[in-house]
């Protein structure tokens, strides 16, 4: 794939990121800013080579191959590529069970 993709954040992913940053800021505002910049920078860099992230293993085992992820330890940035857009769909804590989180979100929607 060539450069020129647009990186777009879904409302759910923005909410995920906001909750992560708010939690960290409760203990260390400076670290929260650092984490925010790190995650935003890694996401923005996807416009150059969006396929560098791996297919999400938990979804792959269910036959779902359209979602990819970057590991920004300890978080997982989930996204999908559609045409010339990259949609950031979630930012999840890798220490939690991703299948449970996704199932919970599907039931709520």
* Helix 11-25 vs helix 29-44: crossing angle, to nearest 10: 150
- Residue 38 in any domain: the answer is yes
Q: Domain containing 97: what range?
A: 6-108
Does 66 fall in a domain?
yes
pLDDT of residue 109: 62
67 domain residue, yes or no: yes
Checking if the pLDDT of 1 tops 50, the result is no
Residue 63 lies in a domain: yes
Q: What CATH code is carried by the domain that includes residue 39?
A: 3.30.2310.20
Separation between Cα atoms, residue 45 and residue 64, nearest integer Å: 24
**What are the pLDDT digits (tens) for 81-94?**
999 999 999 999 98
Q: Secondary structure of the chain: what % helix, strand, coil (to 5)?
A: 50, 25, 25
Considering the entire predicted model, what is its pTM?
0.87
Count structural domains, the chain: 1
Q: What is the pLDDT of residue 39?
A: 98
The counts of H helices and E strands in the chain are 4, 5
Q: Which of 3-7, 16-20, 88-92 has the lowest mean pLDDT?
A: 3-7
Residue-wise pLDDT tens digits, 31-41 = 999 999 999 99
């Amino acid at each position: 794939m060539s450069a020129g993709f647009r990186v777009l954040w879904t409302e759910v992913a923005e909410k995920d990121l906001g909750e992560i940053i708010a939690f960290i800021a409760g203990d260390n505002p400076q670290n929260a800013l650092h984490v925010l910049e790190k995650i935003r920078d890694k996401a923005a860099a996807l416009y150059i080579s969006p396929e560098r992230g791996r297919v999400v293993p938990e979804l792959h085992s269910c036959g779902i191959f359209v979602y990819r992820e970057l590991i920004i330890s300890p978080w997982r940035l989930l996204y999908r590529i559609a045409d010339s857009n990259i949609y950031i769909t979630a930012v999840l804590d890798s220490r939690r069970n991703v299948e449970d989180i996704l199932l919970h979100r599907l039931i709520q929607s």
